[in-house]
C-alpha cells in the first residue's frame, strides 16, 4: 500500500525555531520530518543548552501532545527542513504502530544520552556524538571515502552536555589521537572504528 502523503507541509530555514516550550499544545498533533534535520533541545536556568535528540527524515517529534502534557523543549531546524503536522487520531494501524515504535526508540536514545553525560568521560561522549552524526544528514563522504560531519564546537558542546571551551579541548584530544581532523564548521572522521570503541567505553 502506498504511503499517504502528508497534508500542509511547513518549511523552515536552517537555524529557525520550529516549536517553543508551551503550556498549551494542540491535542494529538505530532510532527513528521519530511526532509532536513531537527534538533530537540532544552535550556537550563543558566542559559546552557542541552540537545536531547535529533530527528532525521521519517522521524517524529511533538509526542507530548499525545498525553496532553506541557512542552518543555525547543525544536530547531539544523538544515533547511520540511515537516508535516500529523493528527495521531487519523493514523491507520500500520502508521500508528510506526509512530509508537519510533517514539519508544527516541526515548531510548534520550536515556542513553543522559546516561553518557552522567557516566562517561567527555571525549567518550564526544566520540559517541560523532558516531551518531556520521549516520545523519549532516554527514557526507569526501573523495577519499572519509566521513565529514558539518558541526560546530558550540553544537557539539550542546550535544555532549558541556560548554564550547571544554568541548574544544575534547576535540583536541581526538585530534591528537589521530581519530578526527578539525576544520572550520566541520570534522573529518579518520577512524570510525576507534570512535565507536570509545563511544561504548567508560575509560
E strand intervals along the chain: 10-12, 17-19, 29-35, 38-43, 49-55, 60-61, 74-77, 81-87, 139-141, 147-150, 180-183, 186-189
pLDDT reading at 170 higher than 70: yes
How much of the chain exceeds pLDDT 70, in percent? Answer: 96
Task: Write down the pTM of the prediction.
Answer: 0.85
Query: Where along the chain do its domains lie?
Result: 10-118, 120-199
Distances from the Cα of 71 to the Cα of 8, 30, 37, 80, angstroms: 22, 12, 20, 23
DSSP H stretches of helix in 52-152: 93-119, 122-133
What is the CATH code of the structural domain delimited by 10-118?
2.60.120.10
| Beta bridge mates, 81 | 12
pLDDT averaged over the chain? 90
Q: CATH top-level class for 120-199?
A: mainly alpha
d(CA 187, CA 148) in angstroms, rounded, equals 6
Amino acid at each position: 500500500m502506498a504511503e499517504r502523503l502528508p497534508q500542509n507541509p511547513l518549511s523552515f530555514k536552517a537555524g529557525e525555531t520550529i516549536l517553543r516550550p508551551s503550556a498549551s499544545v494542540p491535542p494529538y498533533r505530532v510532527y513528521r520530518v519530511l526532509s532536513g534535520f531537527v534538533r530537540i533541545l532544552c535550556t537550563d536556568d543558566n542559559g546552557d543548552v542541552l540537545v536531547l535528540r535529533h530527528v532525521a527524515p521519517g522521524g517524529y517529534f511533538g509526542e507530548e501532545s499525545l498525553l496532553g502534557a506541557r512542552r518543555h523543549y525547543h525544536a530547531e531546524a539544523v538544515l533547511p527542513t520540511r515537516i508535516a503536522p500529523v493528527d495521531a487520531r487519523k493514523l491507520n494501524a500500520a502508521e500508528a504502530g510506526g509512530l509508537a515504535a519510533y517514539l519508544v526508540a527516541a526515548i531510548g536514545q534520550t536515556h542513553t544520552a543522559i546516561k553518557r553525560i552522567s557516566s562517561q568521560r567527555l571525549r567518550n561522549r564526544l566520540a559517541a556524538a560523532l558516531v551518531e552524526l556520521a549516520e545523519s544528514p549532516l554527514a557526507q563522504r569526501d573523495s577519499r571515502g572519509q566521513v565529514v560531519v558539518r558541526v560546530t564546537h558550540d553544537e557539539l558542546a550542546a550535544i555532549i552536555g558541556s560548554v564550547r571551551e571544554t568541548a574544544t579541548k575534547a576535540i583536541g584530544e581526538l585530534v591528537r589521537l589521530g581519530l578526527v581532523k578539525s576544520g572550520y564548521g566541520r570534522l573529518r572522521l579518520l577512524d570510525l572504528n576507534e570512535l565507536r570503541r570509545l563511544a561504548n567505553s567508560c575509560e
